[in-house]
Structure formats: structure tokens, C-alpha cells
Amino acid sequence: MQHNITAFADEFGNSSFDFQTQGSHFIVATVICKNENLEKLKTDIDEIRRKHNFQTGEMKSSGVGPNHARRKRILEDIAQLDISIYAVIVDKRKLFGKGFSIKKSFYKYLNNLVYKELYRTFPRIELYVDEHGGNDFMREFKTYVEKHHERNLFSGSDFNILNSKQSYFIQLADFVAGTLGYIFDESKKSENSDEFETILKPKISSLNFFPKEFSFQEFQETNVDETFDPKIAEVCYQRVHDFIDKETGRDQQKIDQINFLKLLLLFQRASIRNRYVSTKELFNHLNQSRHEGLKEEYFRTKVVGNLRDRGVLIASSRDGYKIPSCSKDLDNFINHGKRIVLPMLNRIKEARDTIKLATGNELDILNKDTFNELKHLLDK
């Protein structure tokens, strides 16, 4: 596959939610270059390294740190390079669900998010990341892409993750990611932040901030799932928002329902396919704000079941739960109900027929006003 562009990515931040001592944001910055300009870019970076005394070490943001005057001088030279900058910027303070404080859950969400955003924006791209040293997220991300990347998601597209050890290009991505941290992260911001952003602005192609409030139109425009059906997705999306908007969370059941729906929305936005979210993954989040852990029976009946009774459409399968966005999701919802309802109806019918036979049709166990609908259904 012939790629038109090559990109180099690095991260800023960590998975900590201790905002008193750690940063408020997690950022994945990508430096993008046309293939025919790669050789010149390497020469230009080498010149920046020489000019700013990086000859014996890596050109890393952490090496410059809060020396804002030096950072400004380096950024002014970076702004002259033939590159563009794309970044995903996550405000950890706004991530709904305390389960994100668990590193595994946090990285899993980010893996989905970054993969979807990069893939949607650059369907033909070769991406290099540094999976060595302290880049925990990049190591996880590399493994995620190798496991989940589907060659047929976009016709004629390709997507590769390769290791780029000791690369000048990766060092440039590191410096850009770190500088974006000095622009947006509350622990790094200063009176110089606006100036840094102004210098980089001509090179920035897109900064995608998460989480953010999505209208359905935005959700539809960012979708990359070929099974997506906008008519089905919109009505299901609207039902979820109507419930969240109208309910105030007066009791624990309502709180659990609202939190559950907000989590489904959050994962729906992050995933390249609107995947099912496992019960275990949901419980990791929901239990963080409860005195007692959720019981599966309560969750199925009082949370999910009651929401369905209220007209909120929630698809389920062995893999978990999701907000429906295509006909297959509704098929799964109906099949799930059929597996429960039909066996129960057959058992009631068998019991009714047995008693009627034993009593010479004198006793019909459904011959009560409270069973009229069920009796009518079985008589049909």
C-alpha cells in the first residue's frame, strides 16, 4: 500500500486522576509530513537540534521544562518546518465515571478514542510511535491497533504501527505533545501558554477535545461504522438524552440509570465501532460511586429492565450493552427478549393445559382479570 503521508505520535500526561499532584489532561500529539518531504524534515530537525544544543541528547519537552524563553525559541523554529499537527486532547476532569481512575480502563477508553479519531481523519497513513521508555500508553496503543485494526474498514486504506527507536521525528512529536501540555494542562499553564499556542497555530490542522457535548449531527458525521443506520441511531440516541434530561437522580436507582446511560454515550463516541460494553467494565465505573457493589440481578431488572420499560432502547448480547445504531443491534435486542419470553410462555401454557386436563376444564389458572392479557395472548 502506497502512503501519501507519514505521522509520528507521542503522548503527554498519565492515567492519574489525582489532580492535586498530577496533570489535568492527557494528550496524544501527531506530527504529519508528506512522504516526499521526509528527508528534508530530518535535515531541518537536525539543524534545530544543533542550533538549540541537543547534539548529545534527545530533543525532549521534559529537557526544556519550564524554561519558557528557550521553549519559545525552539517553537519558532519548529513553526518553520513543513509539517502539520493533529492532536487528541482529553480533559481527565470531565471524564464521567470514576472507573477511569483504573489505569486499564483509562487506557482502554483512550485506545478506542485515539484509534477512531486518527483512522477517521487519516484513512491512508503510516504511523510511528515510540513504544520504549516511559511511554506506557503508546505500548498499549500499538498492541490495541495490532489486535483490532481491520483492513476492510475503509476500501483501499491501510494503517500501520511501527517502532521508531531513537528517531528525530519522534523527538519532534514529544516536544509538540509536551508543549500542548504547557498550553492546556492546568499544572503546566502559565502566562506564556497563549504565546506558545499562537506560535504553533499555523501548523495545527486540528485539535480534538474530549469529552465534549455532541449533537446527533456531530455523532453521525464522526461515525465510521459501515453498518450505521442514522434513522435507528437517532431515535435511540434521542431516547437516552430525553431520559437523562428529564430525570434528576432522586434515588439510587435513578442515579444508577443516569450514570449507566452516560457511560454508554461516552463509550459510543469513543469506539470506532459502537461496541458492546461488558457488564464487568460498566461495574468498574458504576461501583466507584456506590457504598455497596452492584448486584447483577438488580442491574438487569432495576437499571436496564426499568429503562427499557420507560422506552429507552438498549441492545444487549453476551458481550454486554450498547445504544443501538443499526438494525443488527435491534435484532440482538429482540432475540434477547425472545430467548426469555418464549420459554416462559411455553411453561405457563404447559401448566395451564395440565391443570385444565386434570380438572376436566373446570379450572383455568389464567381465568383472572389480572391475567386477561396473558390469557388472550396464549389463546391466539
- The grid coordinates listed for 50 are 544543533
- The grid coordinates listed for 139 are 505500548
3-state secondary structure of 237: helix
| Pick from 61-70, 243-252, 304-313: least confident | 243-252
Among the listed residues 277, 283, 315, 285, the one whose alpha carbon sits nearest the alpha carbon of residue 296: 283
Model confidence pLDDT, tens digit, residues 229-269: 888 888 888 888 888 877 766 778 888 888 888 888 888 87
Q: Look-up: residue for cell 491501510?
A: 158
**Predicted confidence band at 281 (pLDDT cuts at 50, 70, 90)?**
confident
Q: Give 243's contacts (C-beta < 8 A, 6+ positions apart).
A: 257, 258, 261, 307, 310, 312
Residue 321: per-residue pLDDT = 92
Among the listed residues 264, 269, 309, 297, the one whose alpha carbon sits nearest the alpha carbon of residue 282: 264
| Pick from 100-104, 127-131, 136-140, 159-163: least confident | 159-163
44: pLDDT strictly greater than 60: yes
Buried b (16+ CB within 10 A) or exposed e, 3-24: bebbbbbbbbbbbeeeeeeebb
- Strands 25-34, 5-12: pairing is antiparallel
- The grid coordinates listed for 329 are 443491534
Mean of pLDDT over the chain:
83
The DSSP code for 277 is B
Torsion, Cα 363 368 371 375, to 10 degrees, reads 50
**Predicted confidence band at 143 (pLDDT cuts at 50, 70, 90)?**
confident
Query: Distance (Å, rounded) from C-alpha 166 to C-alpha 77?
Result: 21
Residue 207 backbone dihedrals phi, psi, to 5 degrees = -120, 115
Contact, 128 vs 160, CB < 8 A? no
Rg of the chain's alpha carbons, rounded to an integer?
27
